[in-house]
Amino acid sequence: MTTPDYRLTQLETLEAESIHVIREVAAELERPVLLFSGGKDSIVMLELARKAFAPARIPFLVMHVDTGLNFPDVLEFRDKRVAELGVELVVASVPDAMARGLVKEEPNGSRNRIQTPVLLDAVEEHGFTALFGGARRDEDKARAKERVFSFRDEFGQWDPKNQRPELWDLYNGRIHLGESIRVFPLSNWTELDIWQYIAREGIEIPGLYLAQEREVVERQGMLYAVNEFVRPREGEPTFRETVRYRTVGDANLTAAVRSQATTVADVIAEIAVTRMTERGATRGDDKVSDAAMEDRKKEGYF
């Protein structure tokens, strides 16, 4: 008689931890919401939320802070996925906030920083007390500092020097009126874990993540696909290159990478050997300063 092997794989352990976190928030906090952009991390997080409460529906709303500069393919995927799951989507629109004077367009064309007031305005309007985010610690050094349960004060601000301890997977969700908790169920995942989970579960993703030949321009050593938000400047040459996206942020600031990965299996093989971080290879907005992400998070960013 053979003894069954009850040991969990790496992905099973991560999945169990994330589902535990999601259920803990649903049990502890009054009005959670899941931030869903249609990117790969939030796609996985939505799938974990589905599993956490199946066969019942996900018991909270999902929200997207739409900058007005998103890839159309990703927005189409976002709407399709929430319709399939029957969850209600709240869209906090940056262009609408600009029209009513809440925020102003920045000279550099980036809407990353002005997303924050729009996010905080939506949190106050809807009374959200917990926000699930898809951030992972391997993405950025500021994200590496943050706890799974990240306390935000009544202004939505984060203090990296004053964080709550998380011993033995015990999370402190106590808040006062106006305060909130950002929750990161994927904190301990890596980019490679995300792709291996997508492959294992057969999760659908936007086609931008897979390589195909696209017309691009090169700026500051990064390749930007020509689209409605990225137009060639005067005298700037364009050329065709086989590329894919590792992240899908704003279309005007998210660069593609040279790649021959046309399937999820190809992407896993590529990620397994790359020496460039995901955001370092693709995000022009993070090159403002070494502390760009931490500065934004202190102000209330995701």
| d(C-alpha 285, C-alpha 287), whole Å | 5
- Model confidence at 278: pLDDT above 90: no
Q: Are strands 239-244 and 257-258 parallel, antiparallel or unpaired?
A: antiparallel
Amino acid identity for residue 30 in this structure: E
Domain ranges for the chain: 10-193+291-299, 206-281
Q: What tens digit of pLDDT does each residue of 125-153 get?
A: 999 999 999 999 988 888 888 899 999 99
Q: What is the structure's pLDDT at 290?
A: 61
Per-residue pLDDT tens over the stretch 76-93: 999 999 999 999 999 999
Would you place residue 283 in the very low, low, confident or very high pLDDT band (cuts 50, 70, 90)? Answer: low
* Domain spanning 10-193+291-299, CATH architecture: 3-Layer(aba) Sandwich (3.40)
Spell out the residues 6+ positions from residue 83 whose beta carbon is closer than 8 angstroms to its own.
Answer: none
Cα–Cα dist 248/37, whole Å: 9
Query: pTM for this structure?
Result: 0.90
